[in-house]
Structure 1
Amino acid sequence: MLKIHHLGISQSERIVWLAEELGLDYEYHRYDRRADNRLAPDEYKALHPMGIAPVIQDGDLVLGESGAICEYIDRKYGGAQHSPGPDHADFADHLFWLHFANGTFMTNGMMQLMLAMAEPKNEMPAAFAADRTAKAWDMVEQRLGEAEFFGGSQLTTADIMMVYGLTTGRMMRQTPLGDRPNTAAYLQRIGEREAYQRAWAKCEPGMEPNLT
């Protein structure tokens, strides 16, 4: 059976959400972060050489990396219903946002966070990171004014990948949503999905999702 290992308040929430969207029967394991440094506990780190979330097990396979896991599960267990093929009108948009999520959007946020923590302060790279981050958020707002979902006409794994950075990831960086009505409306639509609600209740019981 497919096993999903979720680290509290982490990117692995994506995988639980995808499994719920697909209605899969899976084995779920949740791990709390350490109290002293808020990192993954040793038993989670032992699951994969990188020691970070997410991680799944499928028989003898141990797989990490959000995008790879999303593609694997959707193709193997979901009949690629959340992955438009090359003949689909949304194919290119889906691919772009699927890879933009961690390749650019999350990377910009992490770069900005690390520079804010670094000593001594250096204004030039900080300004560079801030500019890239602002451009990425502007692209998100524009896209969500053009289409109902990042991938186009339907929910795809591009949405599964992007939503974490707009919600939990944004909360962790204490980034306000600001004047972005298209993004705000999109997050309300996502929050109304029963699969998202089920996944969130499993991943972070007693905690409200950061949808505003």
Structure 2
Amino acid sequence: MTKVHHLEQSRSHRVLWLLEELGQPYELVPYARDGKTLLAPAALRAVHPLGKSPVLEDNGRVVAESGAIIEYLLERYDTGGTLGPAGGDEDERLRYRYWLHYAEGSAMPPMVMALVFARIRSAPMPFFARPIARRIADGAMKGFVGPQIARHLAHMEAALAERPWFAGERFTAADIQMSFPVEAGLARSDGDHPRLAAFLERIHARPAWQRAVDRGGPVLVAG
């Protein structure tokens, strides 16, 4: 049986969603975040040394990292090639590979930094340190993190001006992988990104996405 170690409100939602799209049965092992720190519990370290989610157990193998898990599941269970790139279209294959790795390699770091600085602003500390911490957090957000998020959102928005899905004309696992940075980016942006908003509407309407939410809970961490 395929087993998913799933942290609530996290990127591991994508693994549940992919399994639902594939129609592959799986056992869900849920973990709750710490109420104060929002960090994963120490119990996850018994599954993987870094104590992070998602982690997949399948046929005696333990696979970590969202992109690696997606590639593994497609190789093993997507026998019809329905969620990979079109076989004869090299441009689509390259776009597919790019967005599959861009999601975590480039898009997510500034999103995580935004979450960290938001936590710094609200963290308990001596009253005399609070203005300093907030100035540092606000300066970092205004001078670097915020502009980086805006640049990535513009890049993603432009990609969807050329085609309905990130890799091409059809929905693929690259869209599953990209879903979290799009969710996180739009949640932290005041800008207008109609194509990304429409992308979220389309994926939220997919029955497999809805089943994954029913089983694993909401997607985003507040903050």
Could you say which TM-score interval applies, normalised by the shorter chain?
0.7 to 0.9
Unaligned runs of 5+ in 2: 122-132
Contact 1:5–1:56 (CA under 8 A) maintained in structure 2: yes
Identity of aligned residues (%): 35
Match of 1:99 in 2: 101
Match of 1:192 in 2: 205
> Which of structures 1 and 2 has the larger relative contact order (alpha carbons within 8 angstroms, sep 6+)?
2
**2: CA distance between counterparts of 1:96 and 1:130?**
23
Q: List structure 1 runs of 4+ shifted beyond 3 angstroms.
A: 111-120, 122-126, 207-210
**2: CA distance between counterparts of 1:113 and 1:196?**
24
**2: CA distance between counterparts of 1:36 and 1:136?**
29
Contact 2:33–2:41 (CA under 8 A) maintained in structure 1: yes
Shift in alpha-carbon separation, 1:111–1:176, aligned structure 2, 3 A: closer
Q: Deviations over 1:137-195 (max 9, x none)?
A: 0011111122111111112121111101222x348xx5146311111111111111111
Task: Give the secondary structure class of the aligned counterpart of 1:62.
Answer: strand
- Report the more deviating stretch, 62-71 or 141-150: 141-150
1:145 aligned residue (152, 157, 161): 161
Does the alignment pair 1:121 with 2:122? no
Contact 2:6–2:30 (CA under 8 A) maintained in structure 1: yes
- Report the more deviating stretch, 54-63 or 113-122: 113-122
Unaligned runs of 5+ in 1: none
Match of 1:23 in 2: 23
Question: Alpha-carbon deviation of 1:113?
Answer: 4.1
Shift in alpha-carbon separation, 1:44–1:196, aligned structure 2, 3 A: same
Match of 2:48 in 1: 48
Does the alignment pair 1:110 with 2:107? no
Match of 1:61 in 2: 61
**Number of residue equivalences:** 205
TM-score (norm 1): 0.85
2:181 aligned residue (140, 145, 165): 165
Structure number with the higher helix fraction is 2
- Report the more deviating stretch, 27-36 or 145-154: 27-36
Question: Alpha-carbon deviation of 1:85?
Answer: 5.8
**2: CA distance between counterparts of 1:69 and 1:177?**
32
Task: Give the secondary structure class of the aligned counterpart of 2:4.
Answer: strand
Contact 1:47–1:55 (CA under 8 A) maintained in structure 2: yes
Structure label with greater radius of gyration: 2
Shift in alpha-carbon separation, 1:14–1:65, aligned structure 2, 3 A: same
TM-score (norm 2): 0.81
**1: CA distance between counterparts of 2:27 and 2:143?**
44
Does the alignment pair 1:179 with 2:185? no
